[in-house]
Amino acid sequence: MRPGPAGGGAPPRGGAPPPPPPAPVAVDRFEGEVPFAAQPAEGIFTWGGDADDPPTLALAERADAPEGAKVLEGSYDISGYGGFSHDYAAAGPAHDWSAHKGVRFWWYGQNTAPLPPGSGKRISFEIKDGGAHGEASELWTTSFTDDWEGWHQVEIPFADFVYRTDYQPVGGIDQVLGLTEMWGYALTLPPGGPGTFALDGIELYGKADAALKASVVTDAAVHPVKQGGTAEIGLSVATTGSAPLEEPVTVSYTTKGGTAAAGTDYTPVTGTYTFPAGTASGTTHRVTVTTKKVTGAASAKTVPLELTVTGARPPKENPQVVIDAHGLPYQNAKLPVKQRVADLLARMSPAEKAGQMTQAERNALASQGDIAAYDLGSLLSGGGSVPTPNTPEAWAKMVDGYQLRAQATRFQIPLIYGVDAVHGHNNLVGATIMPHNVGLGATRDPKLAERTGAVTANEVRATGVPWDFAPCVCVSRDERWGRSYEAYGEDPALVKSLETVIQGMQGAASGKDLSRNDKVLATAKHYVGDGGTEYGSSTTGSYPIDQGVTKVTRQELEAVHLAPFEDAVKRGVGTVMPSYSSLDIIGDDRGPVKMHADAEMINGVLKDRMGFEGFVISDYKAIDQIPGDYASDVRTSINAGLDMIMVPTAYQEFTATLRDEVAAGRIPQSRIDDAVSRILTQKFRLGLFEKPYADTANLERIGSAEHRAVARQAAAESQVLLKNDGGVLPLKSSQKVYVAGSNADDIGNQAGGWTVSWQGSSGDITPGTTILSAMKKDAASVTYSEDASADTTGYDVGVVVVGETPYAEGVGDVGNGHDLELSAADKAAVDKVCAAMKCAVLIVSGRPQLIGDRLGAVDALVASWLPGTEGDGVADVLYGKRPFTGQLPVTWPRSVDQLPINVGDSSYDPQFPYGWGLTTLKKPPSGGELTLTALALAARLTEKAGLAHTEAGRALATQARLLVQQKAAGTFTEAFSKPFAEADHLALTGDLTAAMTQYRAAYRAA
């Protein structure tokens, strides 16, 4: 701080001196006033890319501390990313930093010799502005370099911070650094080697710059108008805290540059406007730009309005008027799609074609103007990449804002926006969350699967998103895989039977329904074999199995992994996504080949043999895993048949590289034209050229009672009753029930991964009904004690709800911090409750859990899978409102040593076989083998009549299964389990005759 004048003399000429800057305000002194803590409590906490990356921190007394007695010391050795944050309490008030110029702190330099400025290790410093709390705020970032030795005070003016574009936890709020609602800061430490640091005395300093307190904003960056129309551009002043302007703000404007011709296409405009001091924040001045009619067809033309601002921050970019393209054949909705595609393709430049083949993550955009600058064809929201607030209206507004930017391109080709809505619109808080696919596999209900797809499509399209990266039609062959719950099961016949979900999403296989406001483009993924990777074959980080190698014979590849994709193609699926994994076909001498590089499988099998007419979209940054440099990655993947690349961050590098490869002749022009034609075809079918913006007519149906009823039915039908000694289930409403277990009252655990965020999380993350709260609606008396610490005497029955916490992808691989065992707390709860009373144990999980050593003490056992937000569906079967009808979609192992274990294995002796599922629907048929003989005869006649896949055919198989299950009485041998599981598989294929033969073998072995 600069000292004031000495003594009490008269003020200098020109009036009173300016007021002194405000005194510094401490943010952190590191004397112990702020604890090390975990969110959401206020405190300092560490984070990192993996278990080793978070730094270690300590408050240490040091004689050389610049301020106070203690400093914050730390050590680190970061391979990915890591650092620490100080977040203010989520329940407490935000802080106001708007009166100050910037933030400063003392940093202990680690260099033993002076370095040129900017050459030391770089440390990122980030502040958290606005939003709900420190983990739901905008991130603004800058950095400094450690160029000195010993203590040095680093000063960072707030003007140096920029909006972070590579990652935002919740997406843009208003992208204005308001400074009135600050939630703390974060430091990201340098990776690549071990290091130490020391930090002290973080404080706010100086007086805020006037220009930081006011800004000029435009109502929109792009203003499309029809030829001859008039555009009005709103220029508004916005102030920190919405206070009136302290000083006047002047805006000079002129139409300048662009592709439109001044005087021919529009009337030039020039002027100046001043917002006087005292003007209210939000006041708007409008500038009118008039366009002219010109004869003939034309592409779109731009008219930028150049702004010069004095006294405030200018807009991030100048607004522009766009004179719409008109009169071109591709714009004629009456023409056949093929003709429209050919016309548009013939007009496009290499850059425009490259842009159409590019998909960027929305948060990776350096600016939204890059959508037009790079002619981007697609954006996506990765898991957890959401607007703020995370509401249906905000989603629609966000997507519309991106679509508006595409209108500034020559041909105004709309974006196709994609999301991973893998069990409902799962990124959206309040959406209807279905059971994960493994639960739908347990329903064995194709019509219900179609209805879940229709509900998901309705909710996704209502928010302006026309493309869903679902369904996963993989066949899960090893439950150690962290994605196993994304599969319908281990049997390709089961997976194929439930691909009706594609019709629910898209409608007719011809694509004629795609333009409806309740349909989306579906994606069959992950092509091919991602469910068959060998344990220990992955080379991705700490993943043991995800993204590994699938080693199969050609016959197994065709029968198990390719068959579901062939069915998806027949159903008209619009896009296919290759797998991160590699394919190693035994005997072809090629060795493992990354699927994103496998031309034989993509061009040869998928496109040529199967006749797939849609387009192939890469997985997230997946081409980077192809061996070779980046140019080789691009060349190899595109030549292998990929049509659009989910870059997702390096879109500038990708588009430039793609164009260079084509120009050099290493990618044929015909390959590019084929890819772009496929992409444009789906955009035309979706009706995006006519209606690029969100049709919000169905917004009110998102999370509606009607939609939740479908999810409730799916949750109920997904419940698999594995054991029910003494008829413990269904429960009676009159019973006094003791409920325990970690998953009884947790929506986040119930929904699993891919819910609101990529990995999902425990807790009350989205509206819904927990299993406990649903049970309370039906029971006269329910006592809940999560850890079973409450007294267990005096109850009729106990219900213990246990299982997994959320995970996704390779993070959930067994061996990567996960296993198939219940937690110690869950085991203790099962032991205590089941020792005290009759008990039912519900396992809420994405895969089987090892329960064998406790099975004898459990009266009833239910595989609840991940039922989603509608716990009412689980309560419906517990209390007999609906019968248990679910069947195991995967084999339930006795031990982890049995894995992988699947129906059809030569050796097959599981805890519960594939297809097992007791029912409370009705008593099974009596009569033993005589009844089986009669059912076999009826099955043969049904099969001959071509009705094997109808409800009548399925009913015969179900009758036989129930009869066999009753004979088994829960006692399993290999002689029983092997034919029993194979019978269920055969019934799904439509071979009822062979299924009945296997059921008879199982009956005799029981």
Active site (catalytic) residues: 619, 809
Instruction: Identify residue 485 by its one-letter amino acid code.
Output: Y
- Strand positions, DSSP E, 612-762: 615-616, 645-646, 720-724, 736-740
Tell me the CA distances in angstroms from 79 to 143, 481, 625, 812, one per residue in order.
19, 24, 18, 20
Which residue, 268, 257, 225, is CA-closest to 404? 225
Tell me the CA distances in angstroms from 695 to 145, 415, 452, 773, one per residue in order.
49, 15, 21, 35
Which residue, 902, 890, 891, 919, is CA-closest to 717? 919
Element (H, E) at 829: helix 824-836
Distance CA 698, CA 395 (A): 13
Residue 12 neighbours by CB under 8 Å, 6+ apart: none
| Cis peptide bond N-terminal to 329, omega within 30 | no
Residues 846 and 804: beta-carbon distance below 8 Å: yes
- Strand positions, DSSP E, 804-883: 839-844, 860-865
Phi/psi for 710 (5° steps) reads: -65, -45
Phi/psi for 127 (5° steps) reads: -120, 155
Tell me the CA distances in angstroms from 626 to 44, 578, 593, 631, 771, one per residue in order.
39, 13, 9, 11, 44
Look up tokens 């030039």; give the residue. 268
Three-state SS for 467-533 is EECCCECCCCCCCCCCCHHHCCCCCHHHHHHCCCHHHHHHCCCCCCCCCCCCCCECEEEEECCHHHC
Phi/psi for 867 (5° steps) reads: -75, -5
Residue 865 neighbours by CB under 8 Å, 6+ apart: 435, 436, 438, 439, 442, 485, 718, 719, 720, 844, 845, 846
Residues 566 and 477: beta-carbon distance below 8 Å: no
Alpha helices in 599-668 (DSSP H): 599, 630-640, 651-663
Look up tokens 């960072």; give the residue. 156
Residues 152 and 200: beta-carbon distance below 8 Å: no
> Which 3 state secondary structure label does DSSP give 25?
strand
Calculate the CA 195 to chain-centre distance.
34
Calculate the CA 778 to chain-centre distance.
35
Task: Report the helix count and the strand count for the chain, using DSSP H and E.
Answer: 24, 37
Residues 187 and 83: beta-carbon distance below 8 Å: yes
Distance CA 871, CA 881 (A): 13
Q: Which two tokens stand for residue 508?
A: 């007719």
User: Do you know the residue count of the chain?
Assistant: 1006
Element (H, E) at 254: strand 249-255
Distance CA 377, CA 398 (A): 16
Calculate the CA 386 to chain-centre distance.
9
Q: Put residue 577 in one of left, alpha, beta given phi > 0 → left and psi -120 to 50 → alpha.
A: beta
Phi/psi for 306 (5° steps) reads: -80, 130
Distance CA 311, CA 275 (A): 10
